[in-house]
């Protein structure tokens, strides 16, 4: 099932996809363009942990003239970075290179501590699409991006759907692609991750507790290009959905 979280008539509501429309929790069917889309995540009773991977596709590492890492290169993101489907992401004034990153996002479904790879899928609640924009102008270290690169408000669109884990037979065999203004600019497949989803869950849960609602953003393949104000960026993952975002100029 595909789950969404939207604002309709001024009220935040949970919804599911039904015949090309949104089925609200109160039984009403509404059009996709009749709502404001939010990140498709249920509220959690504490701060959500968002883990993001750098250089987790070998081709992307080569694109940046790096060797694939021997250990996951992870950094934390704040929840304020998230925005929804069909929303705007701000590009700071004067920036020379800001690019998208189409990523499979894993939503943790139950508390995970000391999980083995063989059992990792039991701890996944679902999947969604993330577009984790990066601003290269501010980058000092590819291995540990600083806050201005990856933690800006609105820099991580998420959605449109949260797809139940049971509806994705193999998350390690999903095609990814990105288009900018309708032009295909990026293609890849999750099978090319350096560190697989089960490996990452074992790795993170070996030293920290993952809680329901936490996110793991699993990295992007090669093919990133600079995006300008007004560009419409669509990051799409097979079986998960197509996430639409528009770049907006920032005068400040």
The CATH number of whichever domain residue 18 belongs to comes to 2.30.30.370
pLDDT of 67 reads 72
pLDDT of residue 145: 65
Same domain, 159 and 185: yes
| pLDDT for residue 195 is more than 90 | yes
pLDDT band at 17 (very low <50, low <70, confident <90, very high): very high
Residues 12 and 125 in one domain: no
pLDDT surpasses 80 at 160:
yes
For residue 17 the two structure tokens come to 């996809």
Residues 26 and 110 in one domain: no
- The span from the CA of 63 to the CA of 157, in Å, is 23
Number of structural domains (the chain) is 2
**What per-residue confidence (pLDDT) applies to 246?**
98
Q: Are residues 45 and 29 in the same domain?
A: no
In a shared domain, residues 144 and 77: yes
Residues 74 and 28 in one domain: no
Nearest to 58 by CA among 197, 172, 192: 192
The rounded percent of the chain whose pLDDT value lies above 70 is: 94
What is the mean predicted confidence (pLDDT) over 106-121? 98
| Closest-CA residue to 6 (of 163, 235, 159) | 159
Which residue segment(s) compose the domain that 15 sits in? 1-38
Percent of the chain with pLDDT over 90: 82
Q: Are residues 93 and 169 both part of a single domain?
A: yes
Shared domain check, 124 and 16: no
Residue 133: CB partners within 8 Å, gap ≥ 6? Answer: 89, 98, 99, 100, 101, 152, 155, 156, 227
* Cα gap 135→252, rounded to integer Å: 16
Residues 150 and 235 in one domain: yes
62-112 per-position pLDDT tens digit: 665 567 778 999 999 999 999 999 999 999 999 999 999 999 999 999 999
Question: For residues 178 and 185, is the Cβ–Cβ distance under 8 A?
Answer: yes
Pick 151 or 107 by higher pLDDT.
Answer: 107
Q: Each residue of 204-242: pLDDT tens digit?
A: 999 999 999 999 999 999 999 999 999 999 999 999 999
pLDDT, the chain, mean = 93
3-state DSSP of the chain: CEEEEEEECCEEEEEEEECCEEEECCCCEECHHHCEEECCCCCCCCCCCEEEEECCEHHHHHHCCCCCCCCCEEEEECHHHEECCCEEEEEECCCCCEECCEEEEEEECCCECCCCHHHHHHHEEEEEEEECCEEHHHCCCCCCCCHHHHCCCCCEEEEEEEEEHHHCCCCCCCEEEEEECCEEEEEEEHHHECCCHHHHHHHHHCCCCECCCCEEECCCCCCCCECCCCCEEEEEECCCEEEEEEEEEECC
In terms of domains, do 20 and 143 share one? no
Within this chain, do residues 8 and 76 fall inside the same structural domain, yes or no? no
Considering the domain architecture, whether residues 55 and 29 belong to the same structural domain is answered as: no
Q: Residue 19's pLDDT is what?
A: 92
Can you tell me the distance from the alpha carbon of 122 to that of 223, in angstroms, rounded to the nearest whole number?
32
Q: Which CATH number does the domain housing residue 183 bear?
A: 3.90.850.10
Closest CA to 41 of 67, 9, 5, 13: 5
Give CA angle at 168 (235, 131), nearest 5°. 20
């Amino acid at each position: 099932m595909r789950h969404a979280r939207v604002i309709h008539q001024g009220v935040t509501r949970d919804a599911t996809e039904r015949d090309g429309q949104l089925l609200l929790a109160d039984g009403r069917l509404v059009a996709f363009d009749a709502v404001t889309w939010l990140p498709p995540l249920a509220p959690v009773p504490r701060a959500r942990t968002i883990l993001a991977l750098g250089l987790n596709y070998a081709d992307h590492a080569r694109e940046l003239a790096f060797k694939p890492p021997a250990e996951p290169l992870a950094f934390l993101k704040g929840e304020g970075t998230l925005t929804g489907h069909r929303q705007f992401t701000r590009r700071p004034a004067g920036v020379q290179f800001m690019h998208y990153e189409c990523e499979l996002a894993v939503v943790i479904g139950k508390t995970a501590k000391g999980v083995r790879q063989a059992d990792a899928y039991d701890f996944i609640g679902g999947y969604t699409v993330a577009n984790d924009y990066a601003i290269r102008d501010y980058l000092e270290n590819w291995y540990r991006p600083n806050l201005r690169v990856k933690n800006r408000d609105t820099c991580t669109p998420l959605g449109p759907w949260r797809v139940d884990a049971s509806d994705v037979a193999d998350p390690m065999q999903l095609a990814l692609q990105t288009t900018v203004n309708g032009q295909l600019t990026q293609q890849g497949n999750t099978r090319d991750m350096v560190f697989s989803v089960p490996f990452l869950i074992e790795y993170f849960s070996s030293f920290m507790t993952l809680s329901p609602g936490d996110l793991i953003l699993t990295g992007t393949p090669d093919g990133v290009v600079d995006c300008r104000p007004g560009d419409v960026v669509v990051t799409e993952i097979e079986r998960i959905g197509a996430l639409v975002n528009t770049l907006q100029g920032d005068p400040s």
